[in-house]
DNA sequence: CCCGGAAATGGGAACGTTCCCATTTTAACA
DNA sequence: TGTTAAAATGGGAACGTTCCCATTTCCGGG
């Protein structure tokens, strides 16, 4: 008899009904005598009983499982966010599990489908390709992470990426730079867009001319950053400062600059956005814009818990954290 | 009527039995007429039916969910491994989900318990604190990742970390270094141990004296690396080369060396192990030992699939990949 | 000592699926 | 056209839990 013991076995052993056992297990011990609890507990221990969450979920329609869907687990930005999510959700008895889509629309969809079929209680997602309507059609509690436009039906937590870009550009401008390159990522379409918008607005406000050759769009990884920088340096009139849409791109750019024999920041200033771990590891350490990653995760969890409670009808909320300048060594006055 | 449609609703609509619907859904269409399949399919579409994986799992005792439990999602080593796992497992219809214990024994245990209760089909784990017997007691298919000793009952996939250390030390030795520091991590006890062993063996073999002040043990993060390096530099007779147990420690060490005004590699050589992304981003880029991360993940998945098949009684296997030297700019002859 | 209400416990039914086994339909062949 | 085996379909039980509602037990006050 290899069968796993069930609550019925426990009930039999303890000489009570399965209902009583269930009450003990769920901690719904309100109406169970202390002595009975003990008896059940020992039966559980002796049999080595383990709760079957699947059966429980079937009956209750809750799994206590939350999915955190992100595009790129390689980007250290996310683990920091995840920590905030976990700390909050685990306290409420939820387990948080990662789904890494690797920028793959197919995979993102697959995970979404999985969360739905397996009745995950909710999803936290930084969407890659999926849109508002598809998410809505999934009929699962969802909170978005990232400063996305075009998702009117969902709670969103993110950072003010428009403001972050302004902050970065202002820093470079104040140092005296007037010819500033922008390295954008190809993939993360919407925030990239918002950064572009911000860039254009900034130039307009300061009365600088918009030179489209200063805007380069590349894949969202280190190699992309390198390529972009090489392209910028090959211009007849290269920029004196470069802002990359995230630190990974910036690090790639930094490497390319070194390789080209340029001294940073004396001959060229480089900035990133995010303030990931590696940003302080480069030489010179990268000036960047820090986002409150842990807090973002935490706030997203907070929204989610509201949704999981009774706030079902609440209107979609939006919380954008402000970003702060992390001034390090990769920026300085123009040559 | 807010209720989600079930196969019974579908069956009713299509004018067939629920059994037939089930056959269509599970793709077990062997014995279903093409026309019937079509009819069921349209009913499914019209009702917007979605399969309830929870109910299915209850009946079949399979969830097609795999947990990948790792200590530190911040360490870029793991995403690379994960990719190998995912690519292989998803092809077989499994979804891979991350559990990040953050070096926390409590959390690691929690996730293990969760995988068990929720009837995950298997676990891939790089154990932090959990031991052989606890894993065995969980009664769930498990494959270990990492070169751990003390887990006689499980398949293990990892890299030859003993060999990796030898390789690193040989590189430094060949460059002429005779006084080599070792930075160990505190947490990852067993492989750290194996590295220490390797270090001692190497010195013995080369007839070098073992100076215990050259061995520093610190927390497994960047700050740890810095501390360790500061400590080593404060010695009366500091080492001419330093090997760190992983790249993160090495990067911290590199920073500390810069801060102390040392030129790497002219005045001091530094090496890491793992070859994570950031290793090539430092200045100078880090010489390190590369592990075949993707392949490790892939092989682990392969072992797991065997277990999930019929190999239940197979004797535990062990696959250690060899590592290769990634020579970059952080090592050179001693001053 | 009995009564009444609260506390404790128990017995199905239900959750949505898959599997076993039985039954019906199909089609091939004599 | 009848026979038969194979193909297609259907009905109920089972998976292990929780919930509803009924029943029993307990205990203090009259």
Confidence band for B303, pLDDT divided at 50, 70 and 90: very high
In tens, the pLDDT along B199-249 reads 999 999 999 989 999 999 998 888 899 999 999 999 999 999 999 999 999
User: In A, which residues are within 8 Å of B120 by CB distance?
Assistant: none
Q: Locate CATH 3.40.50.2300 in chain A.
A: 63-158+293-321, 161-291
Q: Which nucleotide is nearest to A11 (CA to C1')?
A: C10
Mark which residues 87-116 of B lie under 8 Å from A by CB: 90, 95, 97-100, 102, 107, 110-111, 114, 116
Judge if the beta carbon of B59 is closer than 7 A to nucleic acid strand C.
Answer: yes
Q: Mean pLDDT in chain A?
A: 89
Contacts of A121 (CB under 8 A, 6+ apart): A62, A63, A64, A65, A66, A94, A141, A308
Q: Mean pLDDT in chain B?
A: 89
Of A53, A90, A100, nearest to B98 by CB-CB distance is A100
DSSP 8-state symbol, A219: -
In tens, the pLDDT along B71-92 reads 888 787 888 899 899 999 999 9
Judge if the beta carbon of B42 is closer than 7 A to nucleic acid strand D.
Answer: no
Overall average pLDDT of the B117-124 stretch: 94
Greater confidence (A309 vs B110) lies with: B110
Bridge pairing between strands A122-125 and B287-290: unpaired
CB spacing of B278 vs A283 below 8 angstroms: no
What sign has the CA pseudo-torsion A106, A108, A112, A117? positive
Taking the CA of residue A144 and the nearest CA in chain B, the distance in Å comes to 19
Which 7-46 positions of A have CB less than 7 A from strand C?
A: 11, 15-20, 23, 30-33, 35-36
Closest CA to A122 of A317, A242, A267, A302: A302
In tens, the pLDDT along A102-160 reads 888 999 999 999 999 999 999 999 998 899 999 998 889 999 998 777 899 999 999 98
CATH superfamily of B63-159+293-321: Response regulator (3.40.50.2300)
Strand-pair partners of A183? A216, A244
Q: Would you give per-residue pLDDT tens digits along chain A (335 residues)?
A: 467 899 999 999 989 999 999 999 987 666 788 888 888 999 999 999 999 999 999 999 999 999 999 988 878 788 889 989 999 998 998 988 888 888 889 999 999 999 999 999 999 999 988 999 999 988 899 999 987 778 999 999 999 888 899 999 999 999 999 999 999 987 655 555 678 889 999 999 999 989 999 999 998 888 899 999 999 999 999 999 999 998 999 999 998 998 898 998 999 999 999 998 778 877 788 999 999 999 999 999 999 999 887 655 678 999 999 999 999 999 999 98
For the ranges B28-32, B108-112, B150-154, B300-304, the lowest mean pLDDT is seen at: B28-32
CB spacing of A282 vs B283 below 8 angstroms: yes
Please tell me the predicted confidence (pLDDT) of residue B85: 94
Q: Which CATH architecture has domain B161-291?
A: 3-Layer(aba) Sandwich (3.40)
Protein footprint on strand C: which nucleotides are under 7 Å from a CB? Answer: 7-12, 14-20
Q: Locate CATH 3.40.50.2300 in chain B.
A: 63-159+293-321, 161-291
CB spacing of A82 vs B95 below 8 angstroms: no
Angle at the Cα of A33 (from A28 to A37), degrees rounded to 5?
A: 65
Strand-pair partners of A98? A68, B98
Contacts of B8 (CB under 8 A, 6+ apart): B18
Note whether A77 contacts B: Cβ–Cβ < 8 A.
no
Mark which residues 153-212 of B lie under 8 Å from A by CB: none
Which residue in A has a C-alpha nearest to residue B69's C-alpha? A97
How far is the C-alpha of B59 from the C-alpha of A91, rounded, in Å? 31
SS3 A99: strand
DSSP-assigned states of every residue in A226-271: HHHHHHHHTSSS--SEEEESSHHHHHHHHHHHHHTTPPTTTT-EEE
Q: How far is the CA of B273 from the C1' of C13 (A)?
A: 60
Please tell me the predicted confidence (pLDDT) of residue A162: 86
Q: Locate CATH 1.10.260.40 in chain B.
A: 7-51
Tell me how far apart the terminal alpha carbons of chain B are, to the nearest angstrom.
Answer: 80
**What are the tokens at A213?**
């050759």
Residue nearest to nucleotide C16 (CA to C1'): B55
Please tell me the predicted confidence (pLDDT) of residue A312: 59
CATH superfamily of B7-51: lambda repressor-like DNA-binding domains (1.10.260.40)
Closest CA to B273 of B231, B200, B317, B331: B331
**What are the tokens at B233?**
């530099």
Please tell me the predicted confidence (pLDDT) of residue B1: 46
How far is the C-alpha of A17 from the C-alpha of A163, rounded, in Å? 61
Note whether A46 contacts B: Cβ–Cβ < 8 A.
no
Residue percentage of chain B with pLDDT more than 70:
95
Q: Which nucleotide is nearest to A57 (CA to C1')?
A: D17
**What are the tokens at B333?**
């002859």
User: In A, which residues are within 8 Å of B67 by CB distance?
Assistant: 97
Q: How far is the CA of A58 from the C1' of C16 (A)?
A: 8
Please tell me the predicted confidence (pLDDT) of residue B187: 65
Overall average pLDDT of the B176-200 stretch: 81
Which three-class secondary structure string do you get for chain B?
CCCCCCHHHHHHHHCCCHHHHHHHHCCCHHHCCHHHHHHHHHHHHHHCCCCCHHHHHHHHCCCCEEEEEECCCCCCHHHHHHHHHHHHHHHCCCEEEEEECCCCHHHHHHHHHHHHHCCCCEEEECCCCCCHHHHHHCCCEEEEECCCCCCCCCEEEEECHHHHHHHHHHHHHHHCCCCEEEEEECCCHHHHHHHHHHHHHHHHHHCCCCCHHHEEEECCCHHHHHHHHHHHHCCCCCCCEEEECCHHHHHHHHHHHHHCCCCCCCCCEEEEEECCHHHHCCCCCCEEEECCHHHHHHHHHHHHHHHHCCHHHCCCCEEEECCEEECCCCCCCCC
Taking the CA of residue A178 and the nearest CA in chain B, the distance in Å comes to 28
Closest CA to A218 of A209, A210, A227: A227
CB spacing of A58 vs B63 below 8 angstroms: no
The CATH number of the structural domain formed by A63-158+293-321 is 3.40.50.2300
Which 244-273 positions of A have CB less than 7 A from strand C?
A: none
Please tell me the predicted confidence (pLDDT) of residue A66: 94
How far is the C-alpha of A127 from the C-alpha of A153, rounded, in Å? 14
**What are the tokens at B211?**
């100076």
**What are the tokens at A292?**
């409150």
**What are the tokens at A123?**
């999803």
Of A52, A57, A278, nearest to B278 by CB-CB distance is A278
Please tell me the predicted confidence (pLDDT) of residue A1: 46
Which three-class secondary structure string do you get for A260-297?
CCCCCCCCCEEEEEECCHHHHCCCCCCEEEECCHHHHH
């Amino acid at each position: 008899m290899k069968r796993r013991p069930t609550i019925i076995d426990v009930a039999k052993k303890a000489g009570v009904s399965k209902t009583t056992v269930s009450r003990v297990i769920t901690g719904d011990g309100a109406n169970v005598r202390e002595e009975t609890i003990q008896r059940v507990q020992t039966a559980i221990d002796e049999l080595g009983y383990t709760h079957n969450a699947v059966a429980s979920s079937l009956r209750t329609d809750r799994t206590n499982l939350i999915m955190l869907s992100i595009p790129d687990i390689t980007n250290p930005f996310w683990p920091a966010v995840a920590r905030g999510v976990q700390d909050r959700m685990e306290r409420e008895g939820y387990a948080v599990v990662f789904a890494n889509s690797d920028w793959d629309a197919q995979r993102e969809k697959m995970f979404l489908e999985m969360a739905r079929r397996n009745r995950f209680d909710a999803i936290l997602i930084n969407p890659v390709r999926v849109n508002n309507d598809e998410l809505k059609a999934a009929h699962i509690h969802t909170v978005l992470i990232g400063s996305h436009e075009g998702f009117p039906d969902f709670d969103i937590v993110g950072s003010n990426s428009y403001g972050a870009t302004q902050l970065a550009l202002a820093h470079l401008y104040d140092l005296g730079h007037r010819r500033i390159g922008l390295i954008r990522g190809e993939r993360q379409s919407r925030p990239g867009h918002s950064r572009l918008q911000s860039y254009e607005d900034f130039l307009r406000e300061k009365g600088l001319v918009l030179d489209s050759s200063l805007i380069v769009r590349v894949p969202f990884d280190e190699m992309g950053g390198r390529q972009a920088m090489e392209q910028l340096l090959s211009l007849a009139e290269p920029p004196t400062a470069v802002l990359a849409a995230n630190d990974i791109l910036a690090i790639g750019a930094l490497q390319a600059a070194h390789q080209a024999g340029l001294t940073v920041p004396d001959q060229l200033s480089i900035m990133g956005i995010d303030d990931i771990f590696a940003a302080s590891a480069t030489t010179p350490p990268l000036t960047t814009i820090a986002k409150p990653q842990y807090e973002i995760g935490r706030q997203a969890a907070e929204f989610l818990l509201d949704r999981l409670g009774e706030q079902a009808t609440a209107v979609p909320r939006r919380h954008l954290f402000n970003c702060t300048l992390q001034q390090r060594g990769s920026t300085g006055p123009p040559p």
